[in-house]
Structure 1
């Protein structure tokens, strides 16, 4: 029996902006990662949060779902693995209820803010025509994902999300949620923070990784806001740092980090599922 990923506490996967659990019964946000982790003995749960809203709103939703899992199954704490905005949403919960969170591992999370958010707020501010068109298009996509994942109609707040991911707002968020913060820009710290939660982070520096992946071309355009700074197309390399930085330069773009779309990645790039298997084994050996 394979027990390589059999951690003491269950694993909860937390999606980012414009995320879901399963879309139209066909597309898994996390690709085959949950199955890879379960094959090693891990208990894995995938939560469903608002596609477009603040970390406070999404954090309260995540907290409700963790408390429900605790009430139903009697779990004491959880190992959170979070992608993109899911990382800051999870930090909100870890700061508010550290007794519920044993560890938090973030992938491609804009802890230092996103230059894409900064750029879009300048290029398409409300109430300009381009701002209104962008807002309408993105919120329509969010509503489609909400309906397609079975959540029904839900509020979609693109401007709130974008402002929250900006560099300026993220600096303020970090002051209010400091546990696991690096001591300097692009720094790293030991994984155990003062609130008893272990923090880890991973990031990528690939953008155009597979010619058949349509997401690559969207990320390629988004990466223009970085003006050559390394990143995954949406999040800069240094901005992804939080807690113990396990690695910040995987050859992944923002979608590759969760094996999207349909697992199309660079030919010789490591499988994110296997990377997370190693991380769960690390947590297991730590007693989590």
Structure 2
């Protein structure tokens, strides 16, 4: 288990709010060359340790999305540089590995075991979950399964209403599968390859986890997400509101309430704070896109596909509409889907994502979480 540790650093002026970082980076956006150079700077400036700035009441557990792991392939950190910044500012941070490819239910079961181990090690009653991409719905599923374990859920670029990219891929797979004999064989081979990649991701992090690429794809479609949301809402205390609004323009509740039995067998109501943010930097911009990031073109292409599907502003894989959940903190960062968690290897665009997550840890602290 990857767990927290406090690391001392020299003190500097703690200019840690994302607005200041955003202004500093935008001043470098005059040309594509300047932007790319700024993105390559490691480590990022203005991230000095600041005592208990991020020391939350409950431990923070980071939950990766589709294809991911705590360390992808056992080498590249999914949350690149983020745990280190949080720990340097007083946070107790754990980084989960769940199946790279599977349904939210199966991923949540693996997360449940991990969270209970975190509680045992830390002595905490609950944890704060921060999930990226499918890590968001996975965290919501755990909050429904084990409300006594979860103090808050924060989602980053998560497809709460599904993804039009997933719709397109599933349609393509169904089309291939309809081809006599060869179709099902080809689909089986593709799924086998993806499941193997996911299995190696788990092994690289010390876990052998069941994988099911097709199950993960189905739950990420707009239809699959709608069915999942209905199941999750059914677990709420009757008469209370969901953190997912009825539509894109109507805010959901800032917290959700669920009941679980205590040791004496009595029902206890647990309130779970809900937060979200996302980027909308999928479309290519010569002056703003990080031209040295090899994923920029890929994300721009998928953003164009989402535009054709009528998704509206998006990060290349998830629309702004789909990402809104609970207390929506921001939707305007010029980030693609990978930039949101400082991938690949810190080649982000716009505001430093580490400062945003660090600022949120301070928010959790101030909210007594």
What's the TM-score, normalizing by structure 2? 0.73
Deviation at 1:134, TM superposition (A): 4.3
Give the Cα–Cα distance (whole angstroms) in 1 for the partners of residues 91 and 293 of structure 2: 30
Structure 2 residue runs of 5 or longer lacking an equivalent are 1-49, 234-241, 259-270
Corresponding residue number in structure 2 for 1:13:
62
Corresponding residue number in structure 2 for 1:148:
204
- Could you say what secondary structure the match of 2:255 adopts? coil
Give the Cα–Cα distance (whole angstroms) in 2 for the partners of residues 145 and 221 of structure 1: 26
Corresponding residue number in structure 1 for 2:244:
181
Structure 1 residue runs of 5 or longer lacking an equivalent are none
Aligned length: 285
Matched, 1:221 2:296: no
Give the Cα–Cα distance (whole angstroms) in 1 for the partners of residues 329 and 60 of structure 2: 18
Deviation track 1:9-53 (CA, whole Å, cap 9, x = no partner) reads: 110000111111123553111000111111110000001101101
Give the Cα–Cα distance (whole angstroms) in 1 for the partners of residues 231 and 74 of structure 2: 38
- Could you say what secondary structure the match of 1:121 adopts? helix
Give the Cα–Cα distance (whole angstroms) in 2 for the partners of residues 186 and 11 of structure 1: 30
Corresponding residue number in structure 1 for 2:213:
158
Corresponding residue number in structure 2 for 1:264:
347
Deviation track 1:64-117 (CA, whole Å, cap 9, x = no partner) reads: 111122223321011111000010010011112222111111001000101011
- Could you say what secondary structure the match of 1:227 adopts? helix
Deviation at 1:280, TM superposition (A): 1.2
Give the Cα–Cα distance (whole angstroms) in 2 for the partners of residues 211 and 136 of structure 1: 33
- Could you say what secondary structure the match of 2:148 adopts? coil
Q: 1:131 to 1:223 in 2, by over 3 A?
A: farther
Deviation track 1:140-176 (CA, whole Å, cap 9, x = no partner) reads: 4323423433334x43311111001110111011111
Mapping for residues 125-140 of structure 1, pairs under 5 Å:
125=174, 127=177, 128=179, 129=183, 131-132=187-188, 134-140=190-196
Deviation at 1:119, TM superposition (A): 0.4
Is the 2:245–2:253 Cα contact (8 Å) retained in structure 1? no
Matched, 1:40 2:121: no
Corresponding residue number in structure 2 for 1:66:
115
Corresponding residue number in structure 2 for 1:197:
272
